[in-house]
Chain A
Amino acid sequence: MSALADSFFNVEIVAAYWPLLLRGLGMTLLLSALSIPLGFGGGLLLGWLDTLGSRAVTRTTGLYVDLFRSFPPLVLLVLIFYGLPFFGLDLPTLASVLLAFFLNTSSYYGEIVRAGLGAVPSGQWDGARALGLSHTKSFAWSCCRKRCAMSPPTSPATRWKWSSSPRWPAWSRCPN
């Protein structure tokens, strides 16, 4: 037990290394603060493209999502950071990291947005059109709808909905 404490909860080590970890935390926060909004924006763009109703566009976004979801981020990072210079494109470190994360994150978000819009009843779209909203405005409206499954807890955007969701109705527990 003391061996466990010694190698996993060692106070001396904590005292010696916490500034290093703190610096790392700063970098993590910076990268998250940049890559999450960028990725989410990209995901929204993908979802919007998907609603345009063109087969070719839908195919392309599907390809994009499947491709960049499958790549391990490490491979993307290496390909971009070490590969692009061979084509004469020398990105600074932070930019290549962000590009790699953007490709990866936006593909995940794109799929979430697409799935969420799929759950919005088509009547909502028709209604928005009937009110004279443009396609893009209808899209934005649909994204904010209650039924839109941006709510799966994977997305922070609608975390509020989850936390304020009603209690499970009591009758559902009654055995028939």
Chain B
Amino acid sequence: MQRFAHQFLDAEVFWRFLPNLASGFAVTLMLGLAVVASGLAVGLGLALIRTRLGHTRMDRVGTVALRAYVDFFRIVPPLVIMSVLFFALPLVGLTLGGFVSAWLALAMALSAFAEEIFWTAILTVDRGQWLAAQALGLTFGRTLVLVVLPQAMRLAIPPLTNRTVAITKGTALASVVGVSEMLGEAVAATSYASNTTPLVMAAAGYLLLFWPLSRFSKRLEARRTA
């Protein structure tokens, strides 16, 4: 027990590396917020576009393109996309910073997952709801916003939170492209101090980051169900 505490909960190491971890926390928070905001917005947008796609030839091309985008970014690990953006694009004359590469890669991954989740959630809303809204004279847009999306959200929120948490934890990958976020700082500090306390600190930091998110999504879900 004594040795465990020394290895994982060392006070001296804690204070020495707190500033590094704190700055890493700020970077993770910023990157995470950027990814969540843009990823969810694009995902919802794509799902809404998909509801407008039908059977004409142009629409089919659109559907195929959309599914190609979604499947591609769900399958390819964000780390690969991130390093291609960061290391390969400069070779063809387009230089992105590490932060921007990480943001783009994670946001595209999140948008792909979010599109699928929003889309299935929309599909599970009973057809009668659409018909009833139509009968009441609501336009397509109003049906979507007033009738379908509120019901779909109840279903979408828990898996969305899952994905959001998982992808936001992917900010840890950003250390590969030279962004000093929390887990990267912690791993560096761990090898520097030959002591795993910084990793425990990083875990606490992630808890601090995601616990409120979990609570918030549960509250949102409870309000929708009630």
Q: Do the beta carbons of A112 and B154 come within 8 Å of each other?
A: no
- Residues of the B chain whose Cβ atoms lie less than 8 Å from the Cβ of A108: 162, 166
What is the CA–CA distance of A14 and B202 in the complex, to the nearest angstrom? 36
Q: Do the beta carbons of B140 and A87 come within 8 Å of each other?
A: no
What is the CA–CA distance of A151 and B120 in the complex, to the nearest angstrom? 7
Bits for A59-94, please: 1 = Cβ < 8 Å to B, else 0: 000100111011110110011001100110000000
Q: Do the beta carbons of A69 and B162 come within 8 Å of each other?
A: yes
- Residues of the B chain whose Cβ atoms lie less than 8 Å from the Cβ of A173: 52, 54, 140
Contact of B84 among A8, A74, A82, A169 (CB under 8 A): A8
Quote the shortest CB–CB distance from B144 to chain A (angstroms): 9
Quote the shortest CB–CB distance from B216 to chain A (angstroms): 11
Identify whether the interface residues of B are mostly helix, strand, loop, or mixed.
helix
Quote the shortest CB–CB distance from B4 to chain A (angstroms): 4
Q: Do the beta carbons of A115 and B199 come within 8 Å of each other?
A: no
Quote the shortest CB–CB distance from B173 to chain A (angstroms): 10
Bits for A133-157, please: 1 = Cβ < 8 Å to B, else 0: 0000000000000010101111000
Judge if B23 is at the interface, Cβ distance under 8 Å.
no
Bits for B104-130, please: 1 = Cβ < 8 Å to A, else 0: 000000000100110111011001001
Give me the interface of B with A, judged by CB distance under 8 Å: 1, 3-4, 7-8, 51-55, 84, 87-88, 91-92, 113, 116-117, 119-121, 123-124, 127, 130, 134, 137-140, 154-159, 161-163, 165-166, 169, 172, 183, 187, 196, 199-200, 202-203, 206-207, 209-211, 214-215, 218, 221, 225
Across the A-B interface, give the 6 residue pairs with the lowest CB-CB distance, nearest first. Answer: A115-B158, A86-B4, A70-B210, A153-B116, A4-B91, A152-B159
18 A-B pairs in the complex with CB atoms less than 8 angstroms apart: A1-B92, A4-B92, A69-B165, A72-B203, A75-B183, A75-B199, A79-B199, A83-B4, A83-B7, A83-B8, A87-B4, A115-B155, A151-B120, A151-B124, A152-B155, A152-B156, A153-B120, A172-B130
Not counting A69-B166, A79-B8, a sample of 11 additional A-B residue pairs whose C-beta atoms are within 8 angstroms of each other reads A66-B210, A72-B172, A72-B206, A74-B187, A75-B206, A86-B3, A115-B155, A154-B162, A172-B51, A172-B130, A172-B140
